Amino acid sequence: MFVAAFVGSPEINLLPGQSIPGLRPPSPNAILGFRPHDVAIVGPEAADLPARVDIVEHRGSDLLVLLRLESGTELRMVAPPDALLPADAAVGIRLDREQLHWFERESGRRMEAT
């Protein structure tokens, strides 16, 4: 988990494994990791979680979007430069299921998904 958080910019998002309805973590104490490039804005019916747009930073070739979950947790995502994401907009987010990473909470070691 340390390496996953250290490598990459923007850094990986980390959430308790039980945070996403419908995802089965490999253990009750698993931490879910996903890269900002592996998050998409979707309609409420396809969303894993509801969020609000907090800050949008234009980086030239893309946007760095800071999202806030209902719990107050902040997530990072990367969006195309032409995405219309006004501050405080309510959005649904969906994670790329092929790009999820699971970690043991205590050791930080990577786990295989079940």
Which domains does the chain carry?
2-111 (2.40.50.140)
3-state SS assignment for residue 48:
coil
**What phi-psi label fits residue 2: left (phi over 0), alpha (psi between -120 and 50 degrees) or beta?**
alpha
In the prediction, which pLDDT does 19 show?
84
**Band of pLDDT at residue 114, cut at 50, 70 and 90:** low
For the segment 28-86, what is each residue's pLDDT rounded down to a tens digit? Answer: 899 999 999 999 999 888 999 999 999 999 998 999 999 999 999 999 999 999 998 99
pTM (2 d.p.): 0.87
Nearest to 75 by CA among 102, 97, 48, 98: 48
Beta bridge partners of 68: 52, 74
